[in-house]
Structures are given as C-alpha cells and as structure tokens.
Amino acid sequence: MMIPIIISTTDNMLSLVPIELREAGMALGGSKHKIILQIVIKAAKVGILTGILLSFARIIGETAPLLFTSANNQFFTMDLSGQFPSLTVSIYNLATYPDEASRELAWAAAFILTMIVLCINLMGRFLIRNKK
C-alpha cells in the first residue's frame, strides 16, 4: 500500500541530484553502477529515508483500513494465515469500552504507538547524520 509513495519519493529525490555530479563521476572514469551507488544515492539518501519514514508512520497510524477491511484478534498469534491483532484497532476498541480501566489502557497503547514512531524517526536521523 505504501510502495507507490516510497517509489514516488525516491524517484523525486533521485531526479533532484544535479547532473553535474553524475557527469563528474563519468569524467573520473566511474562505471554506471559505481556512479549510482557512490554518488547519486549518497546525495539523495536524506530524501529517500524521509519518504520511507513517512510511509512507516502512515502504515503504523492507519486505523480505518484495518477496521473495515481486515479481521482483528485480541490475542497475539504467530499464525500468519489467521486473524492478527493490530495496535491501532486495539486502541479504538479499548477507547470505546465503558469502563475507565479500558480507556487508560487505550491511552497507554496510544503512548506506545507514539514512542514507536518516535524511535523510528530517531533511528532514521541517526542513520542519515553526516559522518565526518
């Protein structure tokens, strides 16, 4: 579902790399795959990783498609052909229960989901930081 977004972002970031960088690599005698791997992708890595992180954030946060298209189970299972629990659907279900304890669990699950997205973003920043 998010692959088109990742591909579109990657394509846009690769097209923003100046032609002069590619030409400089060719002038130095680099082969086509070396130029792509060592010059073009390094120049566009921040934008590519941003697209991937945005896609992960959308995947983690999308509740509506899970509510309407997939079955949900309250219990964790390793059977990939069966119903599988989703954190976002569990948050929705717990928030709609009438007792206070369930709503507190929903808030805790929302906090966990927020921390997961934060950790993914921090890992992304750590991976693309400038290494001098």
Over the stretch 42-71, which tens digit does the pLDDT of each residue have?
888 888 888 888 887 777 766 666 666 666
Domain extent listing, the chain? 1-61, 63-123
* pTM greater than 0.75: no
Q: What is the pLDDT of residues 73-97, one digit of tens each?
A: 666 667 777 676 777 778 888 889 9
**Closest C-alpha among 4, 116, 10 to residue 60:** 116
Distance CA 130, CA 9 (A): 21
- The reported pLDDT for the residue numbered 1 is 66
Selected residue with higher pLDDT from 73 and 22: 22
